[in-house]
Amino acid sequence: MDYQFLKVSDDGNGVVTLTISSPATLNALNSTILGELERFVDALDPDTTRVLVITGEGKAFVAGADISEMAHLNEPEGFAFGQAGARVFKKIEDLPFPVIAAVNGFALGGGCELAMACDIRIASAKARFGQPEVGLGIIPGFSGTYRLPKLVGQGIAKELIYTGKMIDADEALRIGLVNRVVAPDELTGAVGELVASILKNAPIAVGFAKACINENYDLDVDESVALENRYFAKCFATDDQKEGMDAFLHKRPAAFKNE
């Protein structure tokens, strides 16, 4: 599939890397890029994809939504634009395999929201994060007011959103917005090591774990425990469970087949 603003690579072993490529605009999200993102996500094969890595080209991960496009929107058009971004980010969040954000630079506004839709965020020391929308007379529109409090707590989220301030990678790590900060030239290697540590495990179990965590987002304790019990039980219907435990008991490496 051809894209104007996306670069896609597949290593042939289930690892797909998506690079948002509009460096002249710091990869700002416009309607075209959002449409391409949605087509890309819809086309991913869950039977062959084990991990998706998302990054940006140049100095930015994604520096925000395209203000030159948003500046002329009326209320219904703003609603549609927000819906489009929220829809594709939810699709990314709901993919049945891990999604890793390799945050190489600016992740502001829609870029921060895209990173938060991923499962894990590894940041370059050059990365910068923020939700600066209130300075433009708007609020986060791609589910930032939902995901940011979930990650960092309401108090910190409100401070970041109300002030619109930008924070560096170390502060993002301190508040729990990112998982790890590495030197810029170590980002690719660090993400590769993380991917390798995921790939050695049973794909179905990893997928079930993700589904269970995501679906637990807004459940009470009893509902959450019941949901985990159901996914835990489903693992015992897989060949990978039998292989993993047999390998453990016989002190040999497991050979998972995603079955």
Catalytic status, residue 133:
yes
* CA pair distance 129, 230, nearest whole angstrom: 37
Q: Which of 113, 193, 223, 228 is catalytic?
A: 113
CA distances from 16 to 46, 48, 180 (A): 11, 10, 21
Q: Which of 38, 75, 77, 133 is catalytic?
A: 133
**Which token pair is 252?**
């040999």
C-alpha atoms less than 13 angstroms from C-alpha of 187 in its C-beta half-sphere:
22
CB-based contact 141:81 (threshold 8 Å): yes
Catalytic status, residue 113:
yes
- The values of phi and psi at residue 5, to 5°, are -120, 10
Q: List residues with catalytic annotation.
A: 113, 133
